[in-house]
Amino acid sequence: MTRQLPNIPRKICAILAALALIVPATAQRNADPNLEVATRGTVFIYQARTSDIALALTCVSTGTLISADGLILTNAGGVVPSRQCDGDALIISLNVDLDEPPIPKYRAEIVSADPGLDIALVRITRELDGRLIARGELPILPFVEIGSSEDVTIDDNLIFVGYPDIGNDPVAITRGTVTAFLAEPRGGSRTWFKTRAEIPGTMAGGGAYNSSGELIGIPTNAPLTGVSSSTNCRYLDDTNRDGLVNRSDYCVPVGDFISTIRPIGLAQSLIRGARLGLEVAVVSSASSPTSSTPPPRISRLFFAPSVQGAMPATVVGSLPANARSLYLFFDYDNMTSETVYELRVTRDGIPDRVFSLPPVRWSGDEQGMWYIGAREQAWANGAYEFTLLIDGASAGSQQILVGGGADSQGLFSDIVFGTLDHAGNLIGNGSIVPIGNIAYARFLHANMRAGTPWSAIWYFRGTEFARTADTWSEESHGSKVVSVGPAGGLLPGQYRLELYIDGALSATSDFFVAGSQGRPLPRVFTNLRFVSAGSPSEARIAHAASSFPGSITNLYALFDWQRIEAGTPWTLRWLVDEQVFFQESYRWSMTDSGADFVVAVRDPPDGSYEIQLLVNNLLLADLPATIGIGQLPIDRFAQFEGTVLSGTVIDAATQKGIPNITIVLISEDYAASEFEWKQEQVVDLVSSDRNGVFQFTRPLAFDTPYSVVIEADGYIPHAADGFSFKPSQPNANITIEMVRG
């Protein structure tokens, strides 16, 4: 490589002391490994609204660079246009000097987002003045490594990196421990990490790191401007043009201190799709058009000690001492991804910060049954009260007592639905029943006494249509099957069964009726097939195939459907090389039966693909297809080939950074002693900032021996050759100590 060198005096240069010094640096700040990389890879994001006069600031957030080509992970709330954040431009500010505020450098565009999970990916695409950046022309940017959120345990130490103010302060670091894992239907037992760390609201969208410096989570919140405290927003601009900045202007939401972390595992499919450049288009209508809806509503709050699928295993009014699992269930209606919900938990009247959930975005559907709770964590004895708030207003509460002995009262649990085979055995999947005349439910029972009153109530579309009331006459422990056969047969849609013991709810579960009889699953989605075509209309008449050449422009998936009611929740999932890169849930909006629903993947790279179709979280249909060689190119995920080298040059005596030192990277074809300031000898060069920090703008090739020279007046020269990096080192951070002569 040749490069035009600056006018640097030709003098004897100090050389890197020895290969032994090329080791990962202990962080200059608070001795945290890889902290330098994390802080330099942290950006500040302004969402702004374009006007004829200037850009008006609408929202702010922190973000984290996760690739050298400008891919940034952040929270959706600060970048996706919404009622609260209605901007149309994203400004990215970078760390130039870690002791100074970030400097606006680029503009970015949204690549993908999940507003409910409050996760978004944006990519730098333009210069600050709006000029488009051609592919490959963006300088290599510092980025962080992604770790595994599944390895995090209670009491683990976490490091949080972000901006503590509206871009007026340098990047900041705070620390805390993991105090709890909260569970919801989206995300399983680790939907949230809880921490007692005091994370400023402007650090939302930033990074939570483990002790190895790997990104494992995203701090996030949902500011309620005008509802909570005044710290939830800031008045920054004269938005009404009256010459004053006051409460008459737009208030930029920032939120209170954050205590909730989204695990990085919930962002992996978005990250994978963005890195691969894969775009999924649902050509046919996927969901009903949005319209104005009534206010959100919460109802039927109750507790369960465990979860079966997304349903309560049983319903309880108390728990014995040493309980380690507790969930609050409730019904909800009219919710959206802009709805803010909160759970406040008290024990014996004292707020319980561990199991409470501060204001966050709603990540569920528009209506259904939801739960929030925790398992494998100790619930101290006491009287608990759970209070739900929706958009800052109380929406319902429920109490439960934890402590005392085990409950010996009768109970029902573990409801599953299906049909009966010829031998009278229940078959099916537990949550979906095909169209027919009768639906069956099997449940477990324990501690039941003869003569105890019990009842079963069946609902369709929220309205009761059948009820059975009787006294118990069977064994105290075992299983029982009940059934319902409405006049005219089972219509497609959502059903519910409630089981009561002596007037108290003991078990409940929802199920769906859809499709025709199948073994063991109902036949809802049929004739699933792949084709390659130039347009959706061509795809509908193209011949199906299971393998395709690597040059196709579109991979289409088509399927037929039968007897599925409008409004039924269903999920579309795509995988490549057995890894999910797209998953989205919808409400069915087509006719109840039809053909040729069309979905497309644009410009797919070589790989093994699979489409999966689910209803009520149950896999009903899937199909694989192969493109090209049948696996992703080995460098498809790589944003570059080589190691990004950064570090700090310090004075050996004072341990302080040395500013304005030019560090020259020499080609593997030359030793340091052969360096003569010829262009063909130079791979790259960089100058340290006022703190002695530097980073090369191009990667170093793996397993390639390099030499380094440093322009340093007043320091003893040293020589070293032949240091290299392995493919397992995408980032390297070093400390170079210089001795004065």
Q: Tokens 């109802």 identify what position? A: 299
pLDDT per residue over 428-453, tens digit each?
Answer: 777 899 998 999 999 999 999 999 99
Q: What's the whole-number mean pLDDT along residues 168-192?
A: 92
Lowest mean pLDDT among 290-294, 311-315, 484-488, 570-574: 290-294
* pLDDT given at position 345: 97
Q: Phi/psi at 500 (nearest 5 deg)?
A: -120, 145
* pLDDT given at position 24: 27
* pLDDT given at position 286: 63
Q: Tokens 């919900």 identify what position? A: 341
Q: What is the largest CA-CA distance in the chain?
A: 101
Q: Tokens 């319903």 identify what position? A: 315
Mean per-residue pLDDT over the chain, rounded: 85
Q: State the DSSP H helix or E strand holding residue 92, giving kind and residue range, or none if neither.
A: strand 89-94
Q: Which amino acid is at 532?
A: S
Q: What's the whole-number mean pLDDT along residues 366-380?
A: 93
| Strands 439-446 and 618-627, sheet pairing | unpaired
- Please, are residues 175 and 159 in contact by the beta-carbon 8 Å criterion? yes
- Please, are residues 508 and 489 in contact by the beta-carbon 8 Å criterion? no
624 against 724, higher pLDDT: 624
**Is the sign of the CA dihedral 69, 73, 78, 79 positive or negative?**
positive
User: Is the model's pLDDT at 292 over the cut of 80?
Assistant: no
Q: Phi/psi at 345 (nearest 5 deg)?
A: -115, 130
Q: What's the whole-number mean pLDDT along residues 245-249?
A: 69
User: Is the model's pLDDT at 724 over the cut of 90?
Assistant: no
* pLDDT given at position 640: 52
Per-residue confidence band for 704, with pLDDT thresholds at 50, 70 and 90: confident
User: Is the model's pLDDT at 686 over the cut of 60?
Assistant: yes
- Domains of the chain, each with CATH number or no CATH: 14-26+642-738 (2.60.40.1120), 35-127 (2.40.10.10), 149-273 (2.40.10.10), 317-402 (2.60.40.10)
* pLDDT given at position 450: 95
* pLDDT given at position 16: 30
| Separation of alpha carbons 137 and 155, rounded Å | 43
pLDDT per residue over 587-622, tens digit each?
Answer: 999 999 999 999 999 999 999 999 999 998 889 999
pLDDT per residue over 622-638, tens digit each?
Answer: 999 999 988 776 554 44
pLDDT per residue over 201-224, tens digit each?
Answer: 889 999 999 988 899 999 998 876
pLDDT per residue over 321-351, tens digit each?
Answer: 989 999 999 999 999 988 999 999 999 999 9
Q: What's the whole-number mean pLDDT along residues 368-386?
A: 94
275 against 13, higher pLDDT: 275
* pLDDT given at position 91: 95
- DSSP SS3 for 268: helix
pTM of the model: 0.82
Lowest mean pLDDT among 30-34, 422-426, 531-535, 722-726: 30-34
User: Is the model's pLDDT at 235 over the cut of 80?
Assistant: no
**DSSP assignment letter at 237:** S
Q: What's the whole-number mean pLDDT along residues 168-194?
A: 92
Instruction: Report the share of the chain in percent with pLDDT over 70.
Output: 88
233 against 86, higher pLDDT: 86
Instruction: Report the share of the chain in percent with pLDDT over 90.
Output: 57
CA-based nearest residue to 567, from 288, 152, 361, 170: 288
> Which residues face 500 on adjacent strands?
455, 505
Per-residue confidence band for 126, with pLDDT thresholds at 50, 70 and 90: very high
| Separation of alpha carbons 268 and 411, rounded Å | 40
DSSP structure string for 581-623: EEEEEEE--S-SSEEEEEEEEESPPSEEEEEEEEETTEEEEEE
User: Is the model's pLDDT at 232 over the cut of 90?
Assistant: no
**Is the sign of the CA dihedral 561, 563, 565, 566 positive or negative?**
positive
| Separation of alpha carbons 648 and 637, rounded Å | 29
Lowest mean pLDDT among 166-180, 298-312, 419-433, 573-587: 419-433
Q: Please, how many CA atoms are within 13 Å of residue 685, restricted to the half-sphere of its CB?
A: 22
Q: State the DSSP H helix or E strand holding residue 684, giving kind and residue range, or none if neither.
A: strand 682-687
Per-residue confidence band for 420, with pLDDT thresholds at 50, 70 and 90: confident
701 against 128, higher pLDDT: 128
| Separation of alpha carbons 206 and 219, rounded Å | 6
- Please, are residues 405 and 320 in contact by the beta-carbon 8 Å criterion? yes
pLDDT per residue over 12-29, tens digit each?
Answer: 233 233 222 222 223 334
Q: Phi/psi at 232 (nearest 5 deg)?
A: -70, -15
| Separation of alpha carbons 702 and 699, rounded Å | 9
Helices (H), 330-483: none
pLDDT per residue over 249-262, tens digit each?
Answer: 677 777 678 999 99
- Burial (CB count <10 Å: 0-12, 13-18, 19+), residue 108: buried
| Strands 393-402 and 318-319, sheet pairing | parallel
